[in-house]
């Protein structure tokens, strides 16, 4: 039975931004990316059978570094051998496997399709020129975990939880409103520090600067981010279609988290 957190797009931060592990959904999706154009063609013609037979030998000899005479000869068993390894290896070995496969079959669409899956499932990695690169800093994830665990400021905490929920909803993500909630968390924190509950974020940031709790350049930087959300129609009526995606929403979530954790030191 599916858990409540799964039905509602909720998960622990470490599983939402997948840096030190891999969900079943991500592993399955990565397998399917290979299955549809490659494994699925396994039995459709002689060339595909040669492709798999050659690949599995190279995999065994140079990647797994095991005796190739232990490999099955039957084509169906060869495919089952690859699948068994894929589903039983450690999460990081999946990325090793995909790097090896990419070197064997440098397909531009393969990199594009893998990255689309990684982006959709909020993986912390991207395939860049055949190498998986870490695009999420460990400190950023820790900062987000810290912000979500801090229940001293209920309003701030609720905005972050909502932003994370909207971002991590696999079926119907709402990136626009996730950004809005991230910005609202900052607005709520600024109002708490300044005591000016009726002010806008811009006015609250100016008040923090005047109180000596925020350097001018830091304030100016966040004012520009805030202005971007207004220009794009995130916080106001939407006049046209936007290009906002998961990367935008994740950037705002992590940036706002770090900024709020910084502001807490000024209380």
Is 8 among the domain residues?
A: no
| Centroid of chain to Cα 161 | 16
Token pair, residue 110, equals: 């393969």
Q: What is the pLDDT of residue 85?
A: 95
Is 1 among the domain residues?
A: no
Residues 52 and 120 both lie in one domain: yes
Residues 167 and 110 both lie in one domain: no
Is 258 among the domain residues?
A: yes
- Residue 82: pLDDT above 60? yes
- Residue 1: pLDDT above 50? no
- Residue 108: pLDDT above 90? no
Of 95, 110, 134, the last residue of a domain is 134
pLDDT digits (tens, 9 = 90+) for 192-245: 888 877 777 888 888 888 888 888 888 888 888 777 776 655 555 443 446 788
Query: What's the sign of the alpha-carbon dihedral 117, 43, 45, 97?
Result: positive
Return d(Cα 67, Cα 211) in angstroms, integer. 70
- Residue 167: pLDDT above 90? no
Within 8 A by CB and 6+ apart from 10, the residues are 4, 164, 165, 168
Is 13 among the domain residues?
A: no
In this prediction the pTM is 0.60
Domain, as residue range, for 187: 139-264
Residues 195 and 216 both lie in one domain: yes
Token pair, residue 127, equals: 């395939």
Angle of helix 24-35 versus helix 91-104 axis, rounded to 10 = 20
Residues 150 and 201 both lie in one domain: yes
For residue 179, the surrounding DSSP H or E stretch is helix 175-194
């Amino acid at each position: 039975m599916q858990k409540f957190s799964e039905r509602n797009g909720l998960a622990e931060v470490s599983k939402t931004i997948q840096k030190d592990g891999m969900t079943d959904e991500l592993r399955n999706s990565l397998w399917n990316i290979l299955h549809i154009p490659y494994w699925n063609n396994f039995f459709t013609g002689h060339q595909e059978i040669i492709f798999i037979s050659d690949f599995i030998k190279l995999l065994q000899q140079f990647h797994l570094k095991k005796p190739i005479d232990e490999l099955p000869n039957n084509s169906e068993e060869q495919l089952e051998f690859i699948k068994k390894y894929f589903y039983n290896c450690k999460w990081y070995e999946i990325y090793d496997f995909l790097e090896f496969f990419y070197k064997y079959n440098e397909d531009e669409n393969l990199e594009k399709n893998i990255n689309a899956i990684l982006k959709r499932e909020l993986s912390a990695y991207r395939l860049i020129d055949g190498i998986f690169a870490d695009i999420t800093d460990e400190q950023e994830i820790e900062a987000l975990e810290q912000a979500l665990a801090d229940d001293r400021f209920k309003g701030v905490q609720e905005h972050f939880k909502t932003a994370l929920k909207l971002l991590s909803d696999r079926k119907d993500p709402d990136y626009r409103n996730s950004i809005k909630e991230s910005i609202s968390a900052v607005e709520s924190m600024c109002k708490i520090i300044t005591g000016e509950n009726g002010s806008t974020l811009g006015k609250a940031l100016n008040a923090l600067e005047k109180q000596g709790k925020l350097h001018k350049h830091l304030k100016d930087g966040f004012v520009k981010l805030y202005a971007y959300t207004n220009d794009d129609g995130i916080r106001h009526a939407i006049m046209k279609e936007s290009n906002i995606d998961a990367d935008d929403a994740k950037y705002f979530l992590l940036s706002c988290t770090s900024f709020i954790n910084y502001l807490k030191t000024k209380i």
